[in-house]
Structure 1
Amino acid sequence: MGEQRQRYNEEFKKQTVKYIQQEAKTIAEICAELNIPKSTVHQWLAQYREFDHEPVANATKLREMEQLLKEKERELKAKDRELTDAQEELAILKKALHIFSKPKN
């Protein structure tokens, strides 16, 4: 008679795929650690893989993140300019209020 097949629930599969994506170990090492066949894990990767959990080593993801960083830097510079303008306006208004609030002689 053949060996009894091991069954895994959906949550276990998803957690295993997430674990593989976050670890620096090879798939073979993780399969040996968890005592799961490599072919099974490769099927799970194909089915449950989420690229948000991937390391940044991917060149495409690196370019996307650099572009996002540049965009955020531009937004930050624009906000800094707006803040500086608002501070200057406030200083001018304070001076004007001080000048116009003096009693007339």
Structure 2
Amino acid sequence: MSESRQRYNQTFKEETVKYIQQHSKPLTEIAEELNIPVNTLRQWVAKYRQFPDEPFVGSGNLRNHDQIVKDLEERNKDLEEELAILKKALHIFSKDRK
């Protein structure tokens, strides 16, 4: 039978990355100590370097910047739809005046 995947919370990941940065041990040794796959630790360190303010967002969540972009894209789409409706209405009402 396959093993279920271990999930780690954000605090644990951040503390682990800080531990890795503070100690000069090889990553493989730290992985054995913590019983975590080496590749998982490498991914955590890479994410921490790439996004130091928000390295680990939860499943289904977006980083603050990504959420702002998504909200603005939705707002833009709504405004484009409103503009299209107003253009059609203007066209319809301008025909009645002629």
TM-score (normalizing by structure 1): 0.45
Structure number with bigger Rg: 1
